[in-house]
Amino acid sequence: MTRLRLVLLCAGAAFFALLVARIGPEAITSAFGRLSWRLLVLVWFPFALGNVCDTLGWRFALPRRSIPFGALFVARLGGEAFNATTPTASVGGETVKVALIRDHVDYREGVVSVIAAKTTITVSQVLFGAVGWVLLLLAPLEADPLLVRTLGWALVIEGLAVSGFVAVQLAGLVGGAGRLLVRLGIVTGHAGPEGSRRIDEGLATFYRRQPWRLGLSVGFHFLGWAISALETYAILLCLGEPVPLVTAIVIEAAGTAVRFASFMVPAHLGALEGGYVATFVMLGLDAGAGLSFSLVRRIREAAWAGLGVLLLALVRAKRSQRPIGEPLEAATIGEP
């Protein structure tokens, strides 16, 4: 799997280089010249608000007991930084999040929370994509019909995938799947039947008996996607390519579809850039603006990943006696 992701990374990097060569570096340097000092602002805002919303989305997937927001915020940034800087297909960072909140909840509750939050953020992603698709249909945009069809089919596939994932959780198969992976030697450690049963029960309780917490988790994650659309609007305004807010929402919705489809590509390298350029062209916008926009996003991602790595290092220094990357399948899942 690591070899496959390395191949995908190299292919993505090559495609990114091809995009730069075809569009021309002059268009990019000109766009960044127009940004000037505004780039520093765009790196941190409004994405900081989106992180706050996503942290709250995770908070409502946790048990009722109080966890300091700051601790949860740091854990989320650390986990996302781990996902962004390691070839783990957005899985390794979830174990980091669980480990970082073990001072506040037991390991089983932490595992349940990250699985539930991963589900709710994906559900909100599909809902946001649906909003973008509806706007694409109804708003007076001069969009290529191919964009409408592509985004529509992407939503169907995403919806089916998310529905299947939720069905697996409601059927109590998550713990059993973990045990199967252990037996096959794909993962190490052993949760034990009791630990696996408690994980399945925790997920079932969250989905079936806590609808208001489920709704709030989805709602805050949806707000996080909406703030990303606001960021899109702000970036294009500062690049000298202003678009209506509706167009910014459509661009962000298309970006979420590309992220979903390219989850195996490390950092979505090449896939996101190509997706944004194609979306811009199909909306009648300049391809260079699409590539410049994606590069601003990359700089922002790098800055926040750097902050997350720094926070991880600080936490690790304070917890030198405890490894922060303990696997989800470890025996401690079944601890009381």
Per-residue pLDDT reduced to its tens digit, 182-199: 443 434 444 555 667 788
Asked if the model's pLDDT at residue 150 lies above 80, the reply is yes
Q: Could you write out the three-class secondary structure of the chain?
A: CHHHHHHHHHHHHHHHHHHHHHHCHHHHHHHHHHHCCHHHHHHHCCHHHHHHHHHHHHHCCCCCCCCCHHHHHHHHHHHHHHHHHCCCCCCHHHHHHHHHCCCCCCHHHHHHHHHHHHHHHHHHHHHHHHHHHHHHHHCCCCCCHHHHHHHHHHHHHHHHHHHHHHHHHHCCCHHHHHHHHHHCCCCCCCCHHHHHHHHHHHHHHHHHHCHHHHHHHHHHHHHHHHHHHHHHHHHHHHCCCCCCHHHHHHHHHHHHHHHHHCCCCHHHCCHHHHHHHHHHHHCCCCHHHHHHHHHHHHHHHHHHHHHHHHHHHHHHHHCCCCCCCCCCCCHHHHCC
* Predicted pLDDT of residue 190: 44
Mean pLDDT of the chain, nearest integer = 85
The pLDDT score that the predictor gives to residue 185 is 41
Return the residue matching tokens 């899985």: 91
Output the pLDDT for position 336: 31
**Residue 177 scores a pLDDT above 60:** no
- Predicted local confidence at residue 257, as pLDDT: 93
Taking CA atoms, 68 is separated from 58, 92, 103, 104, in Å, by 13, 23, 11, 9
Q: What is the pLDDT of residue 327?
A: 45
Range scoring the smallest mean pLDDT among 96-105, 240-249, 273-282: 96-105
Higher pLDDT, 79 or 8: 79
**Comparing 63-67, 118-122, 312-316, which segment has the lowest mean pLDDT?**
63-67
Across residues 297-326, what is the average pLDDT? Answer: 82
Lowest mean pLDDT among 90-94, 212-216, 324-328: 324-328
Residue 49, pLDDT > 90, answer: yes
pLDDT value at position 90? 62
Q: Does residue 14 have a pLDDT over 50?
A: yes
Q: Is pLDDT at 11 greater than 60 in this prediction?
A: yes
pTM of the shown model: 0.87
pLDDT at 156: 96
Alpha carbon distance 246, 239 (integer Å): 18
Confidence tier at 332 by pLDDT (50, 70, 90): very low
Q: Where are the domains of the chain?
A: 2-334
Label residue 214 by pLDDT band (50, 70, 90).
very high
